[in-house]
Amino acid sequence: MRGRDAAKILMVDDRPENLLALEAILQGLGHELIKASSGEQALKCLLTHDVAVILLDVQMPGMDGFETADHVKQREKTREIPILFLTALDGEAHQAFRGYAAGAVDYLAKPFDPWVLKAKVGVFVELYQRRRQLVAEAAELRRQLARYTDAGLDGLSGQACDAVDRAQALLRDGGPGLVQSLGAALDAAGTATRRLQQALPEAVAAGHSR
């Protein structure tokens, strides 16, 4: 999958053996795996890498996982990156609450099921890829609308814009079934955009013949 469809996954743990275990589990997904051995190193990686998901160990010396997550969420560039906490803690409620308050989207206690980890990472990567697809489609739509302003296309361009707005709202609000709902919204945006692109040459030709 390396190439256009590959995503970057940031793995943060102070123990090399844990990073190797994560790498062994996730390398089959075909994405680029980036390793960081501390919170500070993870924040430096985020300055140069566009990351789909962060796998973050809670218990680290110095800057722990909670503090690292706080810094990630404070940066405009990285605040939307989903964080999956990996912890060896006993699962007490106040620890889980602290993790979610720091911006975690999910929690996995060690030792975790490799298949569950792969499934969760797969969902986050799919969301990241669909988000990028939405951005590209919205940019293309705006480009087309800037080139062609024929009044007869108002209804069709409105459909495309509405579909993009629905997808953007899903990205913002989240909730159950996000990936499936986002996929439907993106499909609608794509369909409306293609219809718009097909109609534009005819509208331009009609305008020239008047």
**Are 128 and 95 spatial neighbours (Cβ–Cβ below 8 Å)?**
no
pLDDT, residue 68, reads 92
Residues linked to residue 84 through DSSP beta bridges, in sequence order: 55, 106
Length of the chain: 210
**Are 57 and 83 spatial neighbours (Cβ–Cβ below 8 Å)?**
no
pLDDT, residue 203, reads 54
pLDDT, residue 113, reads 87
Map tokens 């814009």 to a residue: 161
Map tokens 């990285």 to a residue: 78
From the first residue on, what is the mean pLDDT of each consecutive set of 10 residues in the chain (210 residues)? 73 94 90 95 94 91 89 88 80 56 71 88 86 74 58 54 63 55 63 64 52
Number of H helices, E strands in the chain: 7, 5
DSSP state of 9: E
pLDDT, residue 44, reads 95
